[in-house]
Structure 1
Amino acid sequence: MPAAIEIDDISKHFRLYHEKYTSLKERVIHLNKIPYEEFWALKNVSFDVNWGETVGLVGHNGSGKSTLLKCIAAILKPTSGEIRVRGRVAAMLELGAGFHPELSGRENIYLNAALLGVSKKDVDLRFDDIVDFSELGPFIDNQVRYYSSGMYTRLGFAVAVNVDPDILLVDEVLAVGDENFQRKCFDKVEEFQQEGRTIVFVSHSPDIVRRVCDRAYVLDHGKVVGEGTAPEAISILREFQAKGSGLASMIASINEDSTSGQGQAAAKEEISVPDERVMVGQISVAFPGISGAGHLTPGDPLTVKVSYSATKPISGVLVGIQLFDQKGDVVFGTDSDLMGLEPLDVDTEGELEFSFPSVAVSDGLFSVAVGFTSARDQRIYDWQNQELAFKVISNGKSTGYLKLEPRLIQNGEAVPFRS
């Protein structure tokens, strides 16, 4: 059976204009030739999405995820290659897409549904369901120009899921909805999955990708650099975030030469495992002095324990650590060199601890990544991550992302605490 979506070696480029000639004189002087730079948003992307699958697209900002989704939705036309989509597609892309600001919510429901190929008669039958799902009944006859971003999201998603699509394309727009509406959307996504519909999902949140997607593709500067189950793809993404994008250029150079025997030999040489290597074993966390609680409060101590093994005793080893939030953003990172410590001498096996006297972050789930590199040539021996390693719950003394302890001074005197 043919796949629901077939993406065959597509590329998409844009022209970036750094100068703009507005007058007739300027255009005549420059012979109407405006200098531009070619930017490839996608390069040689190929994969299939089978019927009933939920596939995620992950990557850094500017990696090409949203451009690829727009190509699948036929909003953008690929510069080269071909995309074959079978079935009715409903796309929930950037905020406000498919809406006219001067029309009311009611009128925009019919407009948006018409753009998705749904007749007025069918919209009449589903109109009440759309309004009920969006929870915008009192505002449905107001112009959408006065809607908040959350209201835009509610209305757009309500239309997309109520036009009976075979394929649902969802971009990061769900991140602007409130928690209750997000839960409602995910319930609907799960309902679609049980009905065997196909979903392509773009998100920066590893938790959402793990929760929703069967598998995922990792994009880096317009190229697919990894794929696998959702946890495997998140792990690949984390490695790219930790190491930078050098790996992508290495893969590209290998692929370009792979048509020749020399290129294939180079590829094998690049990916061969060196004789000298330090490997990350188990990563675990402990909360010193805290008994019974399965979480931290801001300011509590944290210990990250790492076991390791080596192919042989090795000197001149650096160890690094990074903490990630639920979106995959790095909230903290350092290594033994940045800490001003001597390079390590490691035996064939052992254990290390990173001891944090105080974790100065507020609410959230955090992941930990640990890696070993060579102090001599900066070669990465190994890098592994522990997903959702620990949880921090605010004690209510502050809001925001960081846990800071300011002092309040009035006229040179510290304001006393309440008795």
Structure 2
Amino acid sequence: MSSEIAIKVENLSKRYQIYDQPRDRLKQFILPRMRRMVGAPSAQYFREFWALRDVSFEVKRGETVGIIGRNGSGKSTLLQMICGTLNPTYGSLQTKGRIAALLELGSGFNPEFTGRENVFLNAAVLGLSQQEVEACFDDIVAFADIGHFLDQPVKTYSSGMVVRLAFAVQAMINPDIFVVDEALAVGDEKFQRKCFARLEELKSRGTSILFVSHSAASIIELCERSLVLDKGSRLMYGAAPQAVRAYQKLLYAPQAEYEALVREIRAADVDANPTGDSDNQQADATLTDAVEVKDAGAAFDPGLVPDTTTVYPSQGAEIRSIAFRDESGRVVNVLQAGETYHLEMEGVFSKSFAGVFFGIHLRNIQGAVVTGQRYPEEGRYVTNVRAGTEFKLRFAFSMSLIQGAYFAGGGIWSAEEPTCAHRILDAVMFRIAPTEKQKSFGYVDLAASEPTLDLAAV
């Protein structure tokens, strides 16, 4: 295995034997042997369930890879095999270096031991000597920040305290491979930010990270690439924003279109089909043509057309156009910082809904949501919407984004199933024009006035 590869997975598969009744397990143990002895045809008293089948991918040293998929798609099974706690049925797996894993809340902890005792126990399981643990013990305690509970039995801890201590042990020993499976969802926002900062630090030191989360924003922000699993099989392994879009599109697909969508995403898996053409590499039909742009003037750049537009299946509604307009009503996509603009969304309902709400998002180039708006507000809905009703909704923005390229999209959600009536990701690409004096950085300019400086001689 190349020195640049930290994890190499080839055709990894895991099969379980499912017995309908306890006695079938005894039958399977005895009867097939007896049938072979008398020359009778063999019989099987269990059903096969493949939790994972023929999954292949590589993770480079220092790379962060997200693993996403619906519940039951095989994510945890894959991680357990990578960590060595589960043996594959067939396939090969190679890892390089020390692996630390946060697979389950409190996994590896003895509930009767104190937090202090569990730190040494857990670190010993990871292969650290007593001296190595003592060298980083103060860092672990400081990161966990659980106070006097460190010397109390773990069984008295809250779920948040358990994950604090578990993450601190795993992350502060500087592993070569770090595996995190949804455990961070338990911590509060302050601790989650602390964890993500530590992950970035580990990543800068060359640690490879496998990160499982249902948070699309976390996957996009943290990961370079992402693996999409479905029913134990690999659907796509590629850039995190594209993988997240494919997963979300699959998540909201009607059952009748699900299998076709699976085939479409699998065909777009460039790593698995390096010479094949991908339908997904072609942009979905953009909405620019549906908007009148004849009078857009210099504020409209026809070259700003997104290649990542993703149109979800229509399930009772259809968004026909999304566009930015300035105060005079012109369609624009080159916006000036500090000006007010309206993002208009137009469409029609093809079925009746008891209640719906609308939402729009603005994303950066990496795909992370910078901001968004909802109508009506959280917890309220537009009620009794009838089939055939057309809609036109305007969201107002005081444009405070820093110069650069961004993407806008929107959707309609129902209070009942199916929850996503229609949605379009990256429907519009727009640019914030540079200003004469750029004093802020990041994504949003929150400066209320010029900075002030007082200098006094000492």
User: Alignment partner of 1:243: what SS?
Assistant: coil
Q: Counterpart in 1 of 2:424?
A: 384
Q: Counterpart in 1 of 2:387?
A: 341
User: Alignment partner of 2:168: what SS?
Assistant: helix
Q: Counterpart in 2 of 1:413?
A: none
Q: Counterpart in 2 of 1:293?
A: none
Taking the TM superposition and a 5 Å limit, the aligned residue runs for 1:17-56 are 17-21=19-23, 35-56=45-66
Aligned with 2:13 (options 5, 11, 15): 11
Amino acid at match of 2:69: G
Amino acid at match of 2:387: L
User: Alignment partner of 2:127: what SS?
Assistant: coil
Aligned with 2:79 (options 42, 64, 69): 69
Q: Counterpart in 2 of 1:409?
A: none
2:323/2:343 contact within 8 Å kept: yes
What displacement does 1:353 show? 3.3
Q: For residues 66 and 273 of structure 1, do their structure 2 counterparts lie closer, same or farther at Cα, with a shift above 3 Å needed?
A: closer
Any unmatched runs of 5+ in structure 1? Answer: 258-263, 287-302, 309-315, 345-351, 357-365, 372-381, 388-419
Amino acid at match of 1:368: G
Q: Counterpart in 2 of 1:169?
A: 179
User: Alignment partner of 1:4: what SS?
Assistant: strand
Taking the TM superposition and a 5 Å limit, the aligned residue runs for 1:8-407 are 8-21=10-23, 35-244=45-254, 249-250=259-260, 279-281=286-288, 283=322, 305-306=344-345, 340-342=386-388, 353=392, 368-369=410-411, 384-386=424-426
When structure 1 is superposed on structure 2, of 157-166 and 236-245 the one drifting more is 236-245
What displacement does 1:38 show? 2.1
Q: For residues 324 and 62 of structure 1, do their structure 2 counterparts lie closer, same or farther at Cα, with a shift above 3 Å needed?
A: farther
TM-score, normalisation: structure 2: 0.58
Q: For residues 222 and 240 of structure 1, do their structure 2 counterparts lie closer, same or farther at Cα, with a shift above 3 Å needed?
A: same
Q: For residues 73 and 284 of structure 1, do their structure 2 counterparts lie closer, same or farther at Cα, with a shift above 3 Å needed?
A: farther
Question: CA offsets, 1:25-80, max 9 Å, x none?
Answer: x9689978995432211111111001111111111111111211111111111111
1:10/1:43 contact within 8 Å kept: yes
Q: Counterpart in 1 of 2:399?
A: none
1:170/1:202 contact within 8 Å kept: yes
Q: For residues 29 and 119 of structure 1, do their structure 2 counterparts lie closer, same or farther at Cα, with a shift above 3 Å needed?
A: closer
Q: What is the number of equivalent residue pairs in this alignment?
A: 318
Amino acid at match of 1:128: D
Q: For residues 214 and 27 of structure 1, do their structure 2 counterparts lie closer, same or farther at Cα, with a shift above 3 Å needed?
A: closer
| Percent identity of paired positions between Structure 1 and Structure 2 | 37
Q: For residues 354 and 278 of structure 1, do their structure 2 counterparts lie closer, same or farther at Cα, with a shift above 3 Å needed?
A: farther
What displacement does 1:18 show? 3.8
Q: For residues 44 and 354 of structure 1, do their structure 2 counterparts lie closer, same or farther at Cα, with a shift above 3 Å needed?
A: farther
Cα separation, 1, equivalents of 2:182 and 2:121: 22
TM-score, normalisation: structure 1: 0.63
2:410/2:423 contact within 8 Å kept: no
User: Alignment partner of 2:107: what SS?
Assistant: coil
What displacement does 1:254 show? 9.3
2:61/2:206 contact within 8 Å kept: yes
Cα separation, 2, equivalents of 1:174 and 1:273: 33
What displacement does 1:17 show? 3.6
1:10/1:45 contact within 8 Å kept: yes
